[in-house]
Amino acid sequence: MIKHHPHAALMQDYVEGKLPLSLSIAVSAHIELCPYCQQQADKLTAQTAMRSWRDAETSTEPKSAVASVEADFDLQANFDSMFADIVENETAEPVAHKPAEITTVECKGTRYSLPRALRSFDSLSWHGIGKITRARLPLEEQEVRASLLHIDKQGTIPAHTHKGYELTLLLAGEFTDENGTYHAGDFIWLDASNHHTPETKEGCLCYTVSNAPLHFTQGVSQLLNGIGKVIY
Ligand SMILES: [Zn+2]
């Protein structure tokens, strides 16, 4: 069961379209896996649309209190019917699929299905060291890097903290660290205050976004440097 969800401010920025693509993909992919956040996103989208509609209304002409209550009722009724139309149209017309999209990836002999938010890339190239493999997404967000990260069975990432933030969306499989065990769909946001050593028994595929290299706490070695380059 999913235990870790995007926090409220991130969800709000997501529905308002304010997130950079790297994080928007993460929230969108989480929502696809999490019925609870799907509901929250629908609710927030409705509230946000209602608010901007009301702002537009009130900015044009001042109204009496009674008129504005009546207008609110009208607004709600209009909005409900508009929302119903949108939902109906969404189910009536299937989304067109681009033929070049990658819908699955294969890592170390296991094939994984990708969430829709991660299917718009026509080619991914994988690099790895030991049990860790990653494919960076071509998002061009300067220091922010987004990747698909695969850790093979019995693999581990050496103990580290983060100089910036590290977002991990677990897409498939499981991993465990000092804070517990994570399952597919978990949305894990860590920063410099978190120190952990992720390891997986069965292997896992994650989508990760970070804005700085990891800081390994076991010292510096060529192996750690290599792992650091693959992960960030
Ligand atoms: Zn959720």
pLDDT in tens, 112-171: 999 999 998 877 889 998 999 999 998 889 899 999 999 999 999 988 888 889 999 999
CA distance 10 to 4: 13
The secondary structure of residue 17, as a DSSP letter, is: T
Residue type, 107: C
Query: Rounded to the nearest whole angstrom, what is the distance from the C-alpha of residue 41 to the centroid of ligand 1?
Result: 10
Average pLDDT in the 15-33 region?
96
- What would the two tokens of residue 119 be? 């299917």
CA distance 21 to 82: 27
**Which pLDDT score, from 0 to 100, does residue 52 have?**
85
Q: Is 160 helix (H, G, I), strand (E, B) or coil?
A: strand
Which CATH number describes the domain made up of 104-231? 2.60.120.10
Domains of the chain: which residue ranges? 8-92, 104-231
Query: Rounded to the nearest whole angstrom, what is the distance from the C-alpha of residue 30 to the centroid of ligand 1?
Result: 6
Query: Rounded to the nearest whole angstrom, what is the distance from the C-alpha of residue 7 to the centroid of ligand 1?
Result: 9
- What would the two tokens of residue 117 be? 């938010």
pTM, to two decimals? 0.78
**Any residues with CB less than 8 A from the CB of 180 and at least 6 apart, and which?**
3
Query: Rounded to the nearest whole angstrom, what is the distance from the C-alpha of residue 105 to the centroid of ligand 1?
Result: 24
Residue keyed to tokens 């070695």 = 221
CA distance 137 to 124: 7
The secondary structure of residue 212, as a DSSP letter, is: S
Distance of CA 143 to the CA centre of its chain: 18
**Which pLDDT score, from 0 to 100, does residue 63 have?**
56
**Which pLDDT score, from 0 to 100, does residue 115 have?**
94
Kind and range of the H or E element at 104? strand 104-107
Strands 175-177 and 180-182: antiparallel
Query: Rounded to the nearest whole angstrom, what is the distance from the C-alpha of residue 171 to the centroid of ligand 1?
Result: 13
**Which pLDDT score, from 0 to 100, does residue 212 have?**
87
CA distances from 8 to 27, 41, 70, 162, 179 (A): 11, 10, 31, 22, 21
Query: Rounded to the nearest whole angstrom, what is the distance from the C-alpha of residue 44 to the centroid of ligand 1?
Result: 14
Of 48-62, 102-116, 205-219, which range is least confident? 48-62
CA distance 102 to 116: 10
Query: Nearest-CA neighbor of 182 among 216, 214, 151?
Result: 151
Query: Rounded to the nearest whole angstrom, what is the distance from the C-alpha of residue 33 to the centroid of ligand 1?
Result: 8
Kind and range of the H or E element at 29? helix 21-33
